[in-house]
Amino acid sequence: MVTSICLHRALLGLFFLCLPLLSASEYYRPSNPRLEKAYVALQAWKHSITSDPKGFTENWCGPHVCNYTGVYCAPAPDNPHEFTVAGVDLNHGAIEGTLPEELGLLADLAVFHLNSNKFHGALPSSLECLKLLYELDVSNNQFEGSFPSVVFQLPSLKFLDIRYNRFCGDVPSCVFDLKLDALFINNNQLTFSIPDNIGNSPVSVLVLANNQITGCFPKSIANMHETLRELVILNTGLRACIPPEIGRLDKLRVLDVSYNHLVGPLPESIGGMRKLEQLDVAHNKLSGEIPCSICDLPRLKNFTYSYNYFCGEPPQCLKIRSHDDRKNCIPYRPDQRPPEQCMAFLSKPKYCDSNGCIARPPPPPPPPSSPPPPHHHY
């Protein structure tokens, strides 16, 4: 995940480097209707800010908005002779306040970054006017309310990051129909099931961690094999089996499903994920033997499968640069579970249906019926 974030930041830097450099005279060129609307929006925003300890908005005075800290101007997409506000980046400002409806006046905005501040309330519905918005990052704030449905009105959106906020409730399944490249919704108070249409999502990075996920682990996730590089679903309370179809994600580099209630075996199909570098399935209720094909993966550098109920591992697993097999039921390995704990768990195996959902164990066969008593003729 770190690799993807670094790549994203590099691309963002390239984006701003490609913007024309504005001379002092251009900063103070006569305004135009776009910049006049931007001035109204940014002044309304400044008045809704209650604390700015680092002084990001101290110079937000006067009509020359292209000179404001954190505000980036560029030629308008439909008129290269007219400048407009193309980006706002107030990351790591520790700014407190809310987002006013007037932000919808920034109609040409492509990049909107507010990471690591203290903004609260809801995202204003007027953001639906930002039809050119490409990146929306409001992570690590105090936003609340239901999942921000305004994102479904942003046709150009490719990068959505709302992690580390207080959004709650359901996640609409249509979020996985958006043409995003990266989706971070982790560390909120969302409660949802992973829908079958997750396979429609073209994202390369998907992080759902530290929410509450119910239901099954849909096998349709295999349909993301063309694009998905990182999948993180740790600490969600997911009760399911890992579907064998997950092995079709042959471009995946990071798979983290730790700290859940996953049961059943570790699918041997994971051995087909030839680009996998990090695999973490720790703190679940997985059992059976670790497939040899997984530990033979050529790029696997970190394999963590501690705190499960595995009963066997091939010797090549111990040769992986970073591996952790503690608290399992593997004979002759140190720091394993007590034998009685293993026996108690393994005597009550868990079953999953064809959809990857935990199912009740099949009923025992009925006892053989007694033969009918002989019929006597008198």
- 65-90 pLDDT, tens digit each: 999 999 999 999 999 999 999 999 99
Q: What b/e string do you get for 104-113 counting C-beta neighbours within 10 Å, with b at 16 or more?
A: bbbbbbbbbb
Instruction: Point out which residues pair with 358 in neighbouring strands.
Output: 352
Alpha-carbon distance 318 to 252, whole Å? 22
Instruction: Point out which residues pair with 8 in neighbouring strands.
Output: none
Predicted pLDDT at 5: 47
SS3 content of the chain, % helix, strand, coil (to 5): 25, 25, 50
Predicted pLDDT at 20: 45
Structural domains of the chain, ranges and CATH numbers in brackets: 26-160 (3.80.10.10), 170-360 (3.80.10.10)
Alpha-carbon distance 261 to 235, whole Å? 9
Predicted pLDDT at 374: 59
Alpha-carbon distance 50 to 41, whole Å? 16
Predicted pLDDT at 107: 97
Alpha-carbon distance 72 to 19, whole Å? 9
| Terminal Cα-to-Cα distance of the chain (whole angstroms) | 86
pTM, full prediction: 0.88
Residue with token string 């604390």: 51
Q: For residue 18, what are its two tokens?
A: 């490609």
- Spatial CB neighbours of 302, under 8 Å, sequence gap ≥ 6: 277, 278, 279, 280, 320, 321, 322, 323
CA neighbor of 267 nearest in space, from 246, 239, 240:
246
Predicted pLDDT at 28: 45
Predicted pLDDT at 364: 63
- Spatial CB neighbours of 120, under 8 Å, sequence gap ≥ 6: 96, 97, 98, 141, 142, 143, 144
Q: What is the DSSP string of 161-210?
A: E--SSEEEE---GGGGGS--SEEE--SSEEEEE--GGGGG---SEEE--S
Segments of the chain scoring below 50 in pLDDT: 2-28, 30, 377-378
Predicted pLDDT at 31: 77
